[in-house]
Amino acid sequence: MRHIKFSNLFKKDIRKCEKRGRNMQKMKAVIELIVNDLSLPLALKDHPLKGIWKPHRELHIEPD
């Protein structure tokens, strides 16, 4: 089981998503999968980043 530390920037992004009417249940479900080290569905397009962000990963819960 992982421990997730929410940064201030992440918290700000969450508030922005809520104001824009995004589906927060999807967000919570994905966070739950990550915390419990479960595999992510292919539809989320999980992928590593490049360059200075190389140690990080990204996924897409909803289209941009």
What is the per-residue pLDDT for 4? 86
Provide the CATH number for the domain around residue 27: 3.30.2310.20
Is 53 inside any structural domain? yes
DSSP state of 47: E
How many angstroms separate the CA atoms of 11 and 59, rounded? 17
- Interior angle at CA 36, CA 30 and CA 38, nearest 5: 70
pLDDT at 58: 94
Q: With respect to residue 3, please indicate whether it lies within any of the assigned structural domains.
A: no
The 8-class DSSP code of residue 39 comes to P
Domain membership of residue 2 (yes or no) is no
Beta bridge partners of 48: 57
For the chain, the domain total comes to 1
In a domain, residue 41? The reply is yes
What DSSP character marks residue 62?
A: S
Low-confidence ranges of the chain (pLDDT < 70): 64
Domain enclosing residue 18, as ranges: 8-58
Task: Confirm whether 32 is domain-assigned.
Answer: yes
pLDDT at 62: 84
Give pLDDT, residue 47.
Answer: 95
The pTM of the whole model exceeds 0.85: no
